[in-house]
Structure 1
Amino acid sequence: MSLVVGGCSSRAPVEVQALPSKGYVKVDSTQVTGLINRLYTQSGPNFSWMSLENVIRHNLQYLSRRPANEIAARYGQFEISWEMLRRTNEDFLQILPLLESSPELLSENFVWYELTPRTLLTGYYEPYLEASLVPDPEYPYPLYSIPADMKKLDLGKFHHRWKGQTLLYRTENGEAVPYYDREDIDFKGALQGQGLEIAWVKDRVDIFMLQVQGSGRLVLPDGSIKHVLYAGKNGLKYVSLGKELIERGILSKEGMSMQKIRAYFKENPQMIQELLVTNPSYVFFRLDDEGPFGSMACPLTPMASIATDTSVIPHGSLALLTTRIPVQGQDTREAVAKIVMAQDRGGAIKDTRVDLFCGSGPEAEFLAGHLTSWSHVYFPVSRAYLDELKDQ
């Protein structure tokens, strides 16, 4: 089995042996036909191809600012250039109005590759938090903006192996030390009195869940809504609370969800501090009238935008996702196939794992809280682009 490695536009594809454990493997025509059939039957009764138009245009706005001939990602022996991504999005946008009646265009216009190994699909959403923009005894827990004393160091300036890596720190007695962790900030008052509060929330667990999701909506006392968006983090390691609860034997791995974690804290409030501080990572926020936005700085689209490890699936990538998702109120999972866009990233999203943005509201909370499914991701590449490379 082999795959075509698409590189910079200055050289043609090279045939190499596929690495079965890591890479993008070319999908044969028979399997592509089956995937397209699944896409048309499992994309949902209300799906419209033209609903993807604005999402793809967001991709193209981002990709137009990237250097065409540079490599966006290398995974296994497969190279993805920014030009490859741009051409693929342009070709997809062009055929959108025709796809309702001509599904064969997905095979005629694109070469498809499967991401291996398979994908662990999880979900995230926009939680709602009861909050106030002014201090109020009913809202005792603050949300913080990025502290001025948190400094950033570009490690790539010191060694080429550290290119793209940064170090977040503060200084103490003239020495660089790690920035304050969750225990310092939430339980020892490390940031109090600095004017960093942007809002105050009723429930401390809500803040923790907001930090895991990355953005949310504040429901203010007058009923109005304010978006609260990710602004930065303290640079310390993210530790999964769910994993901690499982390892302690508090909750079982089977059926682990955000809802079960919330229920446990409601019954055991004395454990909140002890368990929350096991995750030293801390997220800072900003307020906005619009949102949510992914790390690609474009609006996230429910059930279409995904967060990825960008060294595997770069920003601006189109993909076909096949999976099974839980159905609320039923002990079953529904087969789903859909086109998704890599428009966000997350600190816990590594390798082939994908996080699906589920939207906001109770249904999104249920899906994000229960979605853990082994899935498959298929990556289209413009056939015209590959043909041009061969002719060079």
Structure 2
Amino acid sequence: MKRLIPIPKPPGKKKVPSSLSILLLGILFLAMGGCAAQAPRVVEPPPEPLEKIAPLLRLMPETYPLFEDDLEYEGLLPALHRSLEFYRKLSPDRPVRFGEDSYPARHMIASTLHLMDLVRERPDKETLNRKIRENFLVYRATGSPPPGTELRPAGKVLFTGYYEPLLSGSLQKNERFSIPLHGMPEDLFEVDLSPFGTDYAGKRIRGRWTGKTFEPYPDRDAISHEGALEGKAPVIAYLASPIDKFFLQVQGSGIVYLAEGGYIRVHYRGQNGRAYRSIGSLLIQTGRVPKEEMSMQRIRRYLEENPEEQREIFAFNPSYVFFHTVKEGPIGALGFPLTAGRSLAVDRRLFPDGAPVFIQTVKPLLFADGTIADWRPFSRFMAAQDTGGAIRGSGRADIFFGNDGYAETAAGHMQHPGEMFFLVLKPQ
């Protein structure tokens, strides 16, 4: 049974009732000819954690980690401000879960403001740790892996990275740029299964209506090689390489510099409903790339050196991402732009949206030519502001590194264990 941490209500505040979210795109509605709904990213996580072990455990002050920020707080205030704006859009009494505890959104506002005030002081290490012990509760991610994965030591989290790629493209198809980057198809629907019973709470499916039944949407291979999207989805731009397109879909956003001049910023708009499968794991399992060499850069090199295998390898991942253009970005799962080095993607079903996070893991140091010289331990404050298809369970987190050369290298090679902690202001 969950514990609700009692927070005194400010005088004069009234609970704001949240309107019922009627999300079911019923098959009956489709059969009646309703307009195709765009498939958005899921904003509301299910009400209950999906793991039997609580994803977060509250620590005693004497077991708090040693807090220190490797970036000297640079960029942290803008990231926390984004979370603050997110909380201000919620109902004041909307619960935000920290494992078995829960705090109302108005307390998360106070918590974020208090941490922002502390950051503005730019405290030294001793002052920082003293004030956190005095004012904040700290929760450690248990690190329990999702079902079917290899067990990791208790409390360890596998950190990976992602970035915003910079690509060349064109608004017109031509000899150089011929690989289409698709927007949302008009015949793709998302159905909320919650109204069909408690067993389906928080579950959704995506597919298309055939006139008689609702069926899975075509997979990556059918879309890329069998014309399954012909006449059904707009083309935002054309890229030069299917490899560029694949990695853009994995990252979820990017900047395309156009041959016509200028650029467009593209961002995740939806997905075909097929489960994501890692082509990196395929290359390891089939002996094409040694496990110890695996990275995004190594995958790209293999694909470039073996073009005849590209279709087979890409088809292993049936998931296909659709895009739209945005003015700023990249946009995280909470609906606002991410902050390089400060925004963290986690499993939103288990962890508190927007909450301050403290991580301890390693980062790469680069030679002048951009290759990795060494991996160095570091610790940093971040904010839980995004999610991802491969980020599942309390033992996974994804660091957004930005869009420069360092970001691409770090994101491509980051696969290291560490620890993750969430902070919230102590209740009065």
Which of 388, 391, 400 is matched with 1:346 structurally? 388
Q: Aligned partner of 1:147: which letter?
A: P
Query: How far did 1:171 drift?
Result: 1.7
Gaps of 5+ in 1: 12-18
1:335 is the counterpart of 2:368: no
Equivalent-residue separation in structure 1 for 2:200 and 2:95 (angstroms): 17
Q: Aligned partner of 1:136: which letter?
A: N
Q: Give matches, 1:83-232, under 5 Å.
A: 83-101=106-124, 102-103=127-128, 104-117=130-143, 118-194=156-232, 196-222=234-260, 224-232=262-270
Equivalent-residue separation in structure 1 for 2:304 and 2:6 (angstroms): 54
- Report what 1:369 is aligned to: 412
Contact 1:8–1:71 (CA under 8 A) maintained in structure 2: no
Equivalent-residue separation in structure 1 for 2:292 and 2:101 (angstroms): 36
Q: Aligned partner of 2:302: which letter?
A: Y
SS at match of 2:108: helix
- Report what 2:401 is aligned to: 358
- Report what 1:257 is aligned to: 295
Q: Aligned partner of 2:221: which letter?
A: E
Q: Aligned partner of 2:59: which letter?
A: V
Equivalent-residue separation in structure 1 for 2:331 and 2:161 (angstroms): 16
More helix by share: 1
Q: Aligned partner of 2:141: which letter?
A: L
Which of 73, 79, 85 is matched with 1:48 structurally? 73
Which of 422, 425, 428 is matched with 1:379 structurally? 422
TM-score by length of 2: 0.80
Equivalent-residue separation in structure 1 for 2:327 and 2:257 (angstroms): 12
Bigger Cα displacement from structure 2, 193-202 vs 272-281: 193-202
Query: How far did 1:237 drift?
Result: 0.5
Query: How far did 1:222 drift?
Result: 4.7
**Alpha-carbon displacement from aligned partner over 1:69-103 (angstroms, at most 9, x marks no partner):** 3433464x344553443332122123222243542
Aligned residues: percent identity?
Answer: 31
**Alpha-carbon displacement from aligned partner over 1:94-153 (angstroms, at most 9, x marks no partner):** 322224354232222212121112211000001122110122221111011111111121
Equivalent-residue separation in structure 2 for 1:20 and 1:111 (angstroms): 23
Equivalent-residue separation in structure 2 for 1:280 and 1:8 (angstroms): 46
Gaps of 5+ in 2: 10-50, 144-155
Q: Aligned partner of 1:313: which letter?
A: F
Which of 17, 20, 24 is matched with 2:56 structurally? 24
Query: How far did 1:378 drift?
Result: 1.2
Equivalent-residue separation in structure 2 for 1:10 and 1:106 (angstroms): 21
Ranges of 4+ aligned residues in structure 1 off by more than 6 Å? none
Bigger Cα displacement from structure 2, 302-311 vs 326-335: 326-335
SS at match of 1:294: coil
RMSD of aligned alpha carbons: 2.3
- Closer, same or farther: CA 241–7 of 1 in aligned 2, 3 Å: farther
Bigger Cα displacement from structure 2, 349-358 vs 56-65: 56-65
Equivalent-residue separation in structure 2 for 1:8 and 1:226 (angstroms): 47
Q: Aligned partner of 2:424: which letter?
A: V
Contact 2:5–2:102 (CA under 8 A) maintained in structure 1: yes
Q: Aligned partner of 1:114: which letter?
A: R
Which of 300, 315, 319 is matched with 2:338 structurally? 300
**Alpha-carbon displacement from aligned partner over 1:6-27 (angstroms, at most 9, x marks no partner):** 546489xxxxxxx996443333
Bigger Cα displacement from structure 2, 159-168 vs 339-348: 159-168
